[in-house]
Amino acid sequence: MDKVTAEKLYDAFYMKVFSYVMTLSGDHEEAMEITQETFFRAITTEKKFRGESESFTWLCAIAKNIFIDEKRRQSRMGEAPVEERSDGKNLEKSLMDTDSSIRIHRILHDMEDPYKEVFQLRIFGELSFQQIGSIFGKTETWARVTYHRARLMIKERMDEK
C-alpha cells in the first residue's frame, strides 16, 4: 500500500476503529495498542484489500482478530483478563442512573455471544446494523434481529432482578 493511500485510510477510519476496539476491550490503553496494530497490519501486510467489503469492515475484522489473539495470549500466559469498563460518557446518554447501569453491565458480562457483542457494537460503538452485519459476515437483518433479541434478554433479566 502506498504512503498516500495509507494516510487516507488512517485519517478516515482511526477513530471509528478505535471506538470499535473500545467496545471489545473496555480498556483505553489496550484499545490504542490494538488499533495501532490494526493499521500497521493493514498497511504492511502482503495480502491486499480485495474490495469485497467496505474498508471500515475490513479494518474491524483485522482488529477483532488481533483482540481475540491477544486474549488467547493472555489466557496462555496466565494473565488476569481486563475487566470491561465504560468511560461513562456513552453510559450517561443511554442509562439513567448508576444502579441500572451496573445491573445492565452485569447482565452484559454474563450474556452469550453474539448477542453481547452485537449489543455493545450498536450501543457503545454506535455502528449501523449494516456495519455490524458485515463485521460478522452476516446480513443487516441478522444484525437487527440479534440486537433486538439482546435487548429483550436484557429487559427480561432486569425484570427478574
Cα dihedral across residues 62, 132, 115, 126: positive or negative: positive
Q: Is the same domain home to 157 and 110? A: yes
Q: Is the same domain home to 79 and 98? A: no
Q: Range of 15's domain?
A: 1-83
Domain stops at, among 50, 83, 116:
83
Residue 91 has what pLDDT?
40
Residues 6+ apart with CB under 8 A from 59: 9, 13, 17, 38, 39, 42
Q: How confident is the model at residue 142 (pLDDT cuts 50, 70, 90)?
A: very high
Q: Is the same domain home to 69 and 99? A: no
What is residue 27's DSSP assignment?
-
What's the number of domains the chain is made of? 2
| Residue range 120-137: mean pLDDT, rounded | 86
Residues 6+ apart with CB under 8 A from 14: 35, 39
Q: Where are the alpha helices (DSSP H) in the chain?
A: 3-25, 28-44, 55-77, 89-94, 98-110, 115-123, 129-136, 140-160
Q: Is the same domain home to 115 and 38? A: no
Query: Which candidate, 119, 109, 129, 125, places its Cα nearest to that of 151?
Result: 119
Q: Give 107-128 pLDDT, tens digit per residue.
A: 888 888 889 888 888 887 788 8
**% of the chain exceeding 70 in pLDDT:** 78
Q: Is the same domain home to 65 and 111? A: no
CATH number at residue 52: 1.10.1740.10
Domain stops at, among 51, 83, 115:
83
Q: Is the same domain home to 1 and 70? A: yes
- Assess whether pLDDT exceeds 50 at residue 95: no
Rounded to the nearest angstrom, the gap between the alpha carbon of residue 100 and the centroid of all alpha carbons in its chain is 22
Distance CA 56, CA 131 (A): 8
Structural contact between residues 125 and 63, judged by C-beta atoms closer than 8 angstroms: no
CATH number at residue 156: 1.10.10.10
Q: Give 11-66 pLDDT, tens digit per residue.
A: 888 888 888 888 888 888 888 899 998 888 888 875 565 555 678 888 888 898 89
C-alpha cell at 32: 490504542
**% of the chain exceeding 90 in pLDDT:** 5
Domain stops at, among 19, 48, 83:
83
Residue with grid cell 496494530, as numbered in its chain: 37
Q: Is the same domain home to 91 and 152? A: yes
Distance CA 27, CA 20 (A): 12
